Amino acid sequence: MKNLRRKTLAAASVVALGAGFASVAGSPATASATGPESTFLVLAPQGGKADRAVARIAAADGTVVANYHQIGVLVARSANPTFVTDVAGAGVESVASTAGLGTALNEGDTIELTAAEIAAATGDPTAEPLYGQQWDMPMIDLPRAHAVTTGSPDVVVGVLDSGISSSHPDLATQIARDKSASCLGGVVDTAEAAWNPTTSDHGTHVAGTIAAALNGIGVTGVAPGVKVAAVKVVDNEGYIYPEAAVCGFMWAAERGMQLTNNSYYIDPWQLNCRNDARQRPVWQAVQRAIRYSQNKGVLTVASAGNSNFDLAHKFVDSGSPNNGTPEVRDINGACVVLPAEAPGVVTVSAVGPTGEKSYYSSYGQGVIDVTAPGGDSRIRTRGATSTTADAILSTTFNTVTRTNGWGWKQGTSMSGPHAAGVAALALSAHPGMQPGQLASFLARTAVAQPCPAGVYDPVPLIPTGADYTATCKGGARNGFYGAGMVNAYHAVQ
C-alpha cells in the first residue's frame, strides 16, 4: 500500500452554498498582521446561534467561510498569527488550526485490467463480463440477494472520498448528481467538475463496489439498484482535512442520504486524542457532525484501517504523524480513530479470498462491528508473492490518461463499501429503518466467524520482514470479525 505525496493545505476557493446548509458569512477582513493564511475550526456552543463566534472571528482578522450553525462549528481563514488566542472568549468554546491535520489518503496501488483482458472476458453480453473475477460477491451471498432485490433508487449512499468519475460506463447512471458536491476547504461546490476525481481514483473504485450498474458492462456492485453521491473530501494532494469531513457529514445529512461510506481516517495521528488541546476541537467537531447526520437518518460506515493495529488495546503509537517525522507517544482510552471509533459508526475489518483476516486489517474486540471482503493478495502464498486477482476488482479512473477502466485494489477501504452496499440492500428491502436499527440489523444478519487459534501469522514470508502477527479475542462476536461476515441475502429477507 502507498500514500499519496504529502503537502500542506492549499487555499480553496469559496463558493455560494445552497439555502439551509452552511453559509458564507461576510467579506474578507483586512488582516492587521501578515503571514500565510491558515484554516481554523471554531466551535461555538451547541443549540444556539453562532453570532458571537462570527463576531469574534471578524474581530480577530478572520473570515468565516462556512458556518455549520446546526452544530456550532465554523470554518474560518486568517493570516493573523495570533488568531487562536485572539478569537478566544465568550461565544467560542474552542479553536484549532487545521494546518498539518490533513491525513494522506491510505490509497492502494491500482492494477488496471488491460484492454485485451477486458475483451477476453466479454463472452456473454447479457451478463457482467468481469463478474467471474469478483470472488468477493459470492462470499457475501450476493447472487441469492439479487434474486430478491438489487436495491432501490430511493436509497442514496454518500461516498465521502476522492470523487467519482461521472463518465464511467459502469457508474454514469448510478450517480445522484443533484446530491453530489465537493467539500474541499469545508465549503460546498456542486459543479460536476468539482466532485469528479482529479489525482485519485480511490472514490471511483469504492463507488463501483457499492453500486456499479447491471448493464452488461464490466462489474456489478453490491447494490446496483441504489444511487451513490460523490462527496469529495480528499484534496488534490491526497489529504483529508477535518473541515472537509465535517462538511461531508453535514452535506449528506441535509441532502437526505441514508448512508455514507468513509474509507479514510482524519488527522495525521492515527489516533485522535480528546485530551490533547490541539486535537480536541477536531474530535468535537467531527463528533458533532456525525451525531447530527445520525439524527437526520444517516448511518455512517467506516473502514477499520490498514495498520494491523489492535484498536481495543492502545498503549503506544509509533507511526504518527504521517505527514512528518513519526513520534513515539503513550496513548489511552481518550484516543480514537476517527471516524471509525465514533459512537454509532459501523466499523468494518477486511478479509481476503480465504475468508481469513487480511494481513493488514486493523482489528479490536468491541471495536469491529462486521467484516467484509477487502482483498489480500498475499494470503495464499503466506506473504512470499502477490496474487493480483486476490484483491478487489472494481471501477477505476486513470488520472494520468483521464480514461475509465476496471482494476484491482485492496484494503479496508474496499471492505467498507461492501458493508455499505449490503446496508443499502437492507434498506431497500426494509425501508424506514433508522441508523441504530440498521446497524443492529447488519450485525444480526452477518455470518459469525470464529477466531483463529493461537497467534495469527498470515504472511510470515513477506519480503519486507514486517511483523503482521495478531491475536483474536472473543467468541461468536470477536475482535477480528465483529459479528461476522456481512450477508446480502440475509439482509434482504
Q: Do 171 and 95 share a domain, yes or no?
A: no
Q: Do 12 and 50 share a domain, yes or no?
A: yes
**CA distances for 422 relative to 61, 208, 226, 412, angstroms:** 48, 13, 11, 15
What's the rounded Cα separation, in Å, for the pair 180 and 165?
A: 12
Q: Do 70 and 117 share a domain, yes or no?
A: no
Cβ-contact 259, 425 below 8 angstroms: no
Q: Cα 426–431–437 angle (5° rounding)?
A: 65
Q: Cα 280–284–289 angle (5° rounding)?
A: 150
* Residue 107 falls in which region: left (phi positive, over 0), alpha (psi -120 to 50) or beta: beta
Range of the domain at 172: 106-491
Q: Do 289 and 187 share a domain, yes or no?
A: yes
Which of residues 75, 101, 127 is at a domain's end?
101
Q: Which helix (DSSP H) or strand (DSSP E) does residue 307 occupy? A: none
Q: Do 64 and 168 share a domain, yes or no?
A: no
pLDDT at 13 (0 to 100): 24
Q: Which three three-digit cell numbers place residue 138?
A: 459470492
Query: Cα 429 from chain centroid?
Result: 25
Q: Which helix (DSSP H) or strand (DSSP E) does residue 254 occupy? A: helix 242-254
Which of residues 74, 101, 128 is at a domain's end?
101
What are residue 2's DSSP bridge partners? 107
Whether 205 sits among the annotated catalytic residues: the reply is no
Q: Do 191 and 317 share a domain, yes or no?
A: yes
Q: Do 67 and 123 share a domain, yes or no?
A: no
What's the rounded Cα separation, in Å, for the pair 252 and 260?
A: 7
DSSP string, 445-467: TSBP-PPPSSEE-S-TT-TT---
pLDDT at 104 (0 to 100): 75
- Catalytic residue of the set 161, 310, 369, 390: 161
Q: Do 117 and 188 share a domain, yes or no?
A: yes
Cβ-contact 105, 264 below 8 angstroms: yes
What is the chain's pLDDT, residue by residue, as a tens digit (493 residues)? 333 222 222 222 222 222 234 433 333 333 445 678 999 999 999 988 899 999 999 999 999 999 999 999 999 999 999 999 999 999 999 999 988 777 777 666 788 888 888 888 764 555 899 999 999 999 999 999 999 999 999 999 999 999 999 999 999 999 999 999 999 999 999 999 999 999 999 999 999 999 999 999 999 999 999 999 999 999 999 989 999 999 999 999 999 999 999 998 775 555 667 767 777 888 899 999 999 999 999 999 999 999 999 999 866 665 555 555 665 655 666 677 889 988 999 999 999 999 999 999 999 999 999 999 999 999 999 999 999 999 999 999 999 999 999 999 999 999 999 999 999 999 999 999 999 999 999 999 999 999 999 999 999 999 999 999 999 999 999 999 999 999 999 999 9
Q: Which three three-digit cell numbers place residue 434?
A: 433508522
Q: Do 93 and 111 share a domain, yes or no?
A: no
pLDDT at 398 (0 to 100): 96
Q: Which three three-digit cell numbers place residue 354?
A: 480465504
Cβ-contact 207, 222 below 8 angstroms: no
Whether 413 sits among the annotated catalytic residues: the reply is yes
- Catalytic residue of the set 200, 358, 394, 413: 413
pLDDT at 35 (0 to 100): 74
What's the rounded Cα separation, in Å, for the pair 185 and 146?
A: 39
CATH code where residue 251 lies = 3.40.50.200
The residue with cell 447472487 is: 143
Q: Do 91 and 202 share a domain, yes or no?
A: no
DSSP string, 314-378: --EEEEE-TTS--EEEE--TTEE-TTTTSTT-EEEEEE-TTSSBPTT--B-TTT--EEEE---TT
Cβ-contact 53, 92 below 8 angstroms: yes
What's the rounded Cα separation, in Å, for the pair 219 and 215?
A: 9
Q: What are phi and psi of 315, to 5 degrees?
A: -120, -45
Q: Do 73 and 111 share a domain, yes or no?
A: no
- Catalytic residue of the set 69, 202, 205, 418: 202
Number of folded domains that form the chain: 2
Which of residues 101, 122, 148 is at a domain's end?
101
**CA distances for 156 relative to 179, 247, 391, angstroms:** 9, 17, 26
Cβ-contact 219, 134 below 8 angstroms: yes
Whether 430 sits among the annotated catalytic residues: the reply is no
**CA distances for 46 relative to 71, 91, 285, angstroms:** 6, 10, 11
- In one-letter notation, the amino acid at residue 84 is V
SS3 at position 41: strand
Q: Which three three-digit cell numbers place residue 77?
A: 481563514
Cβ-contact 246, 285 below 8 angstroms: yes
Cβ-contact 167, 363 below 8 angstroms: no
What's the rounded Cα separation, in Å, for the pair 442 and 67?
A: 34
Q: Do 95 and 110 share a domain, yes or no?
A: no
pLDDT at 273 (0 to 100): 73
Helices 242-254 and 280-295 sit at what angle, rounded to 10 degrees? 10
Q: Where are the alpha helices (DSSP H) in 152-195?
A: 192-195
CATH code where residue 49 lies = 3.30.70
pLDDT at 316 (0 to 100): 60
